[in-house]
Structure 1
Amino acid sequence: MKNILYTVLLVIGFSAAGTAQEINWVSLEEAVKLQKKNPKKIMMDVYTNWCGPCKMLDRNTFQNKDVAEYVNKHYYAVKFNAEGNEKINFNGREFANKGYNPANANRRNSVHDLAHYFSVRSYPTIVFLGDDSSLLAPVVGYQTPQQLELYLKLFKNNGHTVFKTQQDFQVYAEAFKPEFTN
């Protein structure tokens, strides 16, 4: 009887895990190509392999069904290792990590030129790009699903264009009513 109960719980656990929606991650080059066919903004997760808050963002926020559903519907999602060795073509330029050391692949490494280009100085940073690939804003630090929801909806609806001061954003943020679940 104990084995049957264990098997049932195991099957239920796998079934529940299989229903979680995941974000459809693409490369930056692919996102830019997709924008030409169907304009959407880009949400780029700038992370490193050694960053604990980056792993929390993956586990707690990007695995959230509301976040995944919203991002997949309204954005092209890009994951970018800011200390990785990938060569990336963006806006007519090739970006690389010239100081990359393979021995440090899972430790602190040199910073990729693309991270410098977007002025990323800490991890995680979520970089939002317009539907023409222009930089909208970097959002620095770990974000809960509800915190990220504020930015996802703000940039999707071009709400950022009406702010003239930091205080305007504060008023918006304080009035924002999140709908995403934990």
Structure 2
Amino acid sequence: MDRHEGFREFVLARQQALMRTAYLLVGDRHLAEDLLQSTLTKVAGHWHKLAAGGNAEAYTRRALVNQYISWRRRPRFEVPSAEPPEQGVSYDEAALDRIVLRRALAKLTRKQRAVIVLRFWEDLTEAQAAEALGCSVGTVKSQTHHALARLRALAPELSEDFEAQEVAG
């Protein structure tokens, strides 16, 4: 039996979801591709154990988050931005909110950003996020609280959205 049997099928089936998570963590498509590739390389080395009954999805998501948090040799993930738009140009309010949110997310710590991505974009429960991060549910709750408070301070114009998320979360 091939050590990597089923790995290709797993990657093909889950690649888009994993890439979305990687992109939300780093905020840049090329860096997300690098992050996902390096994570999948490591997961491939452990595939024989996962194929024997492990939860490949949860293991890979946790490996992705751990790889993101431990990328110490890389610079902080900042989203380059141009000057503010010229006067007289109309923009969709939702698009502007997304730009503001992306800039604010880029200023969170890596763990805070990971918690926000897992809880609100990946829609994981607190327990699932704790499993993915390798921490307690209480840590997820406190990191979420601190991250949302930081986002409120960085983007006060979006604070109503953050309050709704915290109440719903």
TM-score exceeds 0.5? no
Q: Where is the strand percentage greater, Structure 1 or Structure 2?
A: 1
What is the TM-score of this pair, normalised by structure 1?
0.28
Higher RCO (Cα < 8 Å, 6 or more apart) = 1
Larger Rg: 1
Higher helix share: 2
